[in-house]
Amino acid sequence: MCGNNSSVVNYTSRGPGSEPVTSAERISLGRLAAWSYERRRLVLLLWIIGLVAVTVVAQGVGSRYQDSFSSGNSPSQRVQNILQARFPEAAGTTADVVIHTHGPVASPATMATTAKLVAAVQALPHVSGVVSPFSPQATHQVSPGGHIAFAVVQFDQTQSAISSATVNRVVTTANSFAAPGYQVALGGQVISKVISPSPGSSEGFGILAAMIIMLIAFGSLVAMGLPILTALFGIAVGFAIEDLVSHLLNVPTFAPEMLAMIGLGVGIDYALFIVTRYRQGLHDGREPKAAVVQSLATSGRAVLFAGCTVIISLLGLFIVNLPFMQGLAVGAIAAVVLVMAAALTLLPAMLGFAGTAIDKLHVPGLLQSGTASSKDGFWYRWSRMIQRHPWSSAFSALVVLLVLAIPLFSMRLAFTDAGNDPTSLTTRQAFDLLAEGFGPGFNGPLVIAAQLPASGGQAVLDRLDAVVRGTPGVAYAAPPRVNAAGTTGVLIAYPTGSPQAAGTAQLVHHLRTDVIPGVTAGTGVSALVGGETAAGVDAASYLSARLFWVIGGVVVLAILLLMAVFRSVAIPLKAAIMNLLSAGAGYGVIVAVFQWGWLGSLVGIGSTGPIDPWIPLMMFTILFGLSMDYEVFLLSRIREEWRRTGDNASAVADGLAKTARVITAAAAIMICVFGSFVIGDPLRVLKVFGLGLAASIFIDASLVRMILVPSVMEILGRANWYMPAWLDRIVPTLGVEVTTDLDEADRRPSAAVLTGSGVAGR
């Protein structure tokens, strides 16, 4: 892909009696295509063996997903380290067993049942203790109304170390005591590790929508099915690999669904470009093998460029240096690598099986020839209309983008809590019961760990307890506990707001900067605020501070890559600004829907809440790669026309006319795949992520590519292609378009001789 090797050659001979070597086969991807075509049975067999082998290993080893969002050396992580070293019995994660009764929860019969429940859970492995709501150690564990109570389960392991089997035993044992009039629900982040909603029908909706779009675009059942098949192969292998990776990295529980979302979107798109070019080759008169080679030598190069761009941008997430972000990045990278590999190896093999029969099973009236759009087509007329009114067109599109981006400026980044879970889950039921009986803050206690000096530490700890209890935003604080050595004290404070509430984050910062220093200054006592809620606040702050660095790095990379490809200064700068506008509009959409609640009932968001802080990071890196794909796809064809004619206006009109149909189909597939997770998946984070990507791609493929690009390029004129000589010498050259002749050896007897890079413009 790298290097400007787009020269035209006819063919050379492999040797006496052998087939000639076409110009496309002199390119690496062309040779790979020829190898995959000639050994198609072997290629298919290797993919099947690889899929079965990796799946068997993954099933045997199992997965170890975890929702741990710690942020390195944050105060909350230091609290965890202090407790593990000095107060191990308080260092493990905890869970709540919430009990709801119709009658008084303190009735003799209910208390007897609760005692049996506590004893049964207490006896389970890795449970170091259970504080019954009726034990002397219990503090404020029975609601004022007397119908809700909770027991606190203390594990001897941290959330990241505890196994799913251990947590499942606690859930099963506690639920076995549920009976009419005695409701049991379990809450806490460790419970969320094993309790998740049933898989939605997102993937099915997305695949069905993609099939319909490609059937309309191709009109052929075989041409429609091949991109689906190759994408599914790559995703299936990706699932197994991600299960294995979860043993090495911190991979969140929703990562497999994200892998499916990204893999389906980009995998089908990549295969779509190659199949489109293959059918164009057949129409031009090439034999199937030559058409396969040509499709990979041209469209395959752009697929490789686009895939590598997505991978490079996702690697930028490692700069954030958070374990769970690395786990998400690895899963997304695996999806892109595998579907790209399937498009470049398995798809040529499958095209070899299909041959000229790729259009045999077609829908009457829908079969498309695959030829490029003519000057009588809609998109050519559309481009000319935009070019006749470039300033008004650009201004109108810009206004729409800016209006859509307005909600972005009120975006609040924070990890959402179990209050957003489906109501059928025990975690949501426990959340609601605790909020009803005690207040929403009881779902996210704050852990204050104090390191005490040899003398005087207890008095300071008592003063700290009193001050924390009187702090606005604190609903209740449990009496402090001190370890046996007297060196460490632990104070549990319950906020008045839920874990995701803005007031809870403000309380954490207030305790750290004002309350605690005011009590401990000059006493020799050091105290830090931690716990799972504080860890979420720390991670959100950490990610928010690095969001602009990641975006800046991605934008700089985009400018350099496009400058190297198109030898222009204006085009990369224009693309960077437009990428920022489309991403900003996408951010605005998710804020308006999920944070403000606009159209929330249609999306099924449940309750409004903040945006999880990892979503903007992942969205931008993925959108960067996808928009680069469309950018290169469109501009490479425009540049080809510019080099051929030297007429900027005609080049833009012709380039848009010959690529708009494929861009529209590819974008529509992406929108449907990502959008299906909005309506078909119960997890809120996937709904947010899916809507953000779907909205951004729709905006990018419509307002940006079809209005802003032609209008701005018309305004700039020949300045589009300006590159200072000194800069041209410095910037390396990357070529993504290849022009190859229709070699005599490629032609079928009835074919007309056509040249150029065809419908895909690659």
Closest to 99 measured CA to CA, from 122, 132, 66: 132
Chain segment 295-310, per-residue pLDDT in tens: 888 888 878 888 888 8
Instruction: Give the pLDDT mean for 1-25.
Output: 45
Q: Name the pLDDT band for 198 (thresholds 50, 70, 90).
A: low
Reply yes or no on whether the pLDDT at 755 is more than 50.
Answer: no
148-155 and 474-477 as β-strands: parallel, antiparallel, unpaired? unpaired
Phi and psi at residue 740, in whole multiples of 5°?
A: -125, 145
Reply yes or no on whether the pLDDT at 485 is more than 50.
Answer: yes
Q: Cα-atom radius of gyration of the chain, to the nearest Å?
A: 30
DSSP code of 286?
Answer: B
The pLDDT score that the predictor gives to residue 742 is: 43
The pLDDT score that the predictor gives to residue 297 is: 85
DSSP code of 42?
Answer: H
Return the ∠ at Cα 452 (arms to 446 and 456), rounded to 5°: 120
* % of residues, the chain, pLDDT over 90: 37
Which three-class secondary structure state does DSSP give residue 86?
helix
Chain segment 105-130, per-residue pLDDT in tens: 999 999 999 999 999 999 999 999 99
The pLDDT score that the predictor gives to residue 252 is: 82
Q: What is the DSSP string of 666-722?
A: HHHHHHHHHHHHHHH---HHHHHHHHHHHHHHHHIIIIIIIIIHHHHHHHHGGGGG-
Chain segment 525-554, per-residue pLDDT in tens: 999 999 989 988 998 888 888 888 888 888
* % of residues, the chain, pLDDT over 70: 89
The pLDDT score that the predictor gives to residue 732 is: 84
The pLDDT score that the predictor gives to residue 752 is: 33
Reply yes or no on whether the pLDDT at 253 is more than 60.
Answer: yes
- The reported pTM is 0.82
The pLDDT score that the predictor gives to residue 746 is: 46
DSSP code of 568?
Answer: -
Chain segment 334-365, per-residue pLDDT in tens: 999 999 999 999 999 999 998 888 877 666 65
Instruction: Give the pLDDT mean for 709-737.
Output: 84
Q: Which of 393-407, 497-511, 705-719 bottoms out in mean pLDDT, i.e. has the lowest? A: 705-719
474-477 and 481-482 as β-strands: parallel, antiparallel, unpaired? unpaired
> How many Å apart are CA 566 and CA 720, to the nearest integer?
10
DSSP code of 343?
Answer: I
**First-last CA distance in the chain:** 11
The pLDDT score that the predictor gives to residue 753 is: 31
- Give me the chain's average pLDDT, please: 84
> How many Å apart are CA 127 and CA 107, to the nearest integer?
27
Residue scoring higher pLDDT (184 or 1): 184
Reply yes or no on whether the pLDDT at 9 is more than 90.
Answer: no
The pLDDT score that the predictor gives to residue 741 is: 45
Reply yes or no on whether the pLDDT at 6 is more than 60.
Answer: no
Specify the length of the chain in residues: 762
Which three-class secondary structure state does DSSP give residue 609?
coil
- Residue with the two structure tokens 């779009």: 213
Residue scoring higher pLDDT (510 or 369): 510
> How many Å apart are CA 477 and CA 469, to the nearest integer?
6
Reply yes or no on whether the pLDDT at 70 is more than 70.
Answer: no
The pLDDT score that the predictor gives to residue 26 is: 64
The pLDDT score that the predictor gives to residue 8 is: 35
The pLDDT score that the predictor gives to residue 7 is: 35
The pLDDT score that the predictor gives to residue 200 is: 60
Residue scoring higher pLDDT (189 or 36): 36
> How many Å apart are CA 762 and CA 273, to the nearest integer?
9
Reply yes or no on whether the pLDDT at 281 is more than 80.
Answer: yes
The pLDDT score that the predictor gives to residue 757 is: 32
